[in-house]
Amino acid sequence: MSEHLSDNAPSPQKIGVREFRGNLTAYLRQVRQGGKILVTSHDLVVAELRPSAPSYRSRRKPGALRGRIRMSERF
């Protein structure tokens, strides 16, 4: 792999598209662990990879609406 794969880098890593494609799994693992990566093409940043924001949507509870939903007699 590359010397770019350092653990817990303080600033985003810059890697080329070819390097990223060649080591995709390792870079995605690094992002999953909190790292940030800038993917470049001809020294221009084309993508930024970072962990996704946590989802604050509450989980659906089966049966939570039981007795509250009424179906029309003609349905």
What CATH number should be reported for the domain holding residue 24?
Answer: 3.40.1620
**What per-residue confidence (pLDDT) applies to 54?**
78
Polymer length of the chain: 75
Q: Which residues of 25-41 are buried (b: 16+ CB within 10 A; e: fewer)?
A: eebeebeeeebebbbbe
Q: Mind listing the pLDDT tens digit for each residue in 2-45?
A: 555 555 545 899 999 999 999 999 999 999 999 999 999 999 99
Relative to beta strand 13-16, strand 37-41 is parallel
**What per-residue confidence (pLDDT) applies to 64?**
85
- How many domains would you assign to the chain? 1
Q: In 10 A of CB 14, how many CB atoms?
A: 13
Tell me, yes or no, whether 30 lies in a domain.
yes
pTM score of the predicted model: 0.59
**What per-residue confidence (pLDDT) applies to 56?**
73
Tell me, yes or no, whether 66 lies in a domain.
no
Average pLDDT rounded to a whole number, residues 47-60: 84
State which residues form the domain around 31.
13-49
Tell me, yes or no, whether 22 lies in a domain.
yes
Rounded distance, CA 11 to CA 26, Å? 18
